[in-house]
Structure 1
């Protein structure tokens, strides 16, 4: 069993991973809408990777007998002026 503090920190990280996943999914959708199939595919791969991270952290908490606590998230940005701005936001994130 892990400490409550450690479980809380891991839960916070799980929520950050899911926000990142949703941000990349929003980027993938916007890129697809603009006709940038390659960028949409790459952002979708990033989305899947972030989900995988969240699931690994969740499994770890479960294995430790700790409860996974999913918190509310703000909606990510859903539109960018172009691919450059999108990648600048991805890098800044």
Structure 2
């Protein structure tokens, strides 16, 4: 008896997303290593924490596939892109990576909606919210480096930013959570 509750297309899309999350973890590890090698321990710590978070996303998808009776397919992940050239470039790359990941998540949401796979659609809503947080966080990082001077940021500003990111929470506030009492 076949107990797989995932269509072949959704199973394939989820496996692909699982691989994307594993790749994202490697990207954050690479960027964190670059930051550390360049003396930015706080930025490195921040990026390493996000590498761990991306791996957790991968495991969340893996578990979902298994719990729905599907087959998990582990594939090779591509090497991370080239190292950033600056702190500004690092945050630009982080933002673009998150936007690309959001696009991939949305495709799965659309596919699950089109196939009326409401369990997968519901499961993916957590990732939709997570990607909104990730994009907001990346935008916040870009805003901070822009204020610090962007590509022309001075050492003092980068030092301050590095210190701030060492203790910055990994979450970003979402517009849907804002009220007049709690802007």
TM-score, length of structure 2 as denominator length: 0.49
Tell me the number of residue pairs that the alignment of Structure 1 and Structure 2 aligns: 93
Q: Which of 69, 87, 92 is the equivalent residue of 2:91?
A: 87
Q: Does 1:42 align with 2:55?
A: no
Q: Which of 65, 70, 94 is the equivalent residue of 1:66?
A: 70
Q: Does 1:76 align with 2:80?
A: yes
Shift of residue 78 of structure 1? 4.6
Q: Which of 5, 12, 15 is the equivalent residue of 2:16?
A: 12
Structure 2 distance, partners of 1:20, 1:47, is 7
Structure with greater Cα Rg: 2
Structure 2 distance, partners of 1:74, 1:13, is 13
Aligned alpha-carbon RMSD (Å): 1.1
Stretches of structure 1 that go unaligned for 5 or more consecutive residues are none
Higher relative contact order (CA 8 A, sep 6+): 1
TM-score, length of structure 1 as denominator length: 0.93
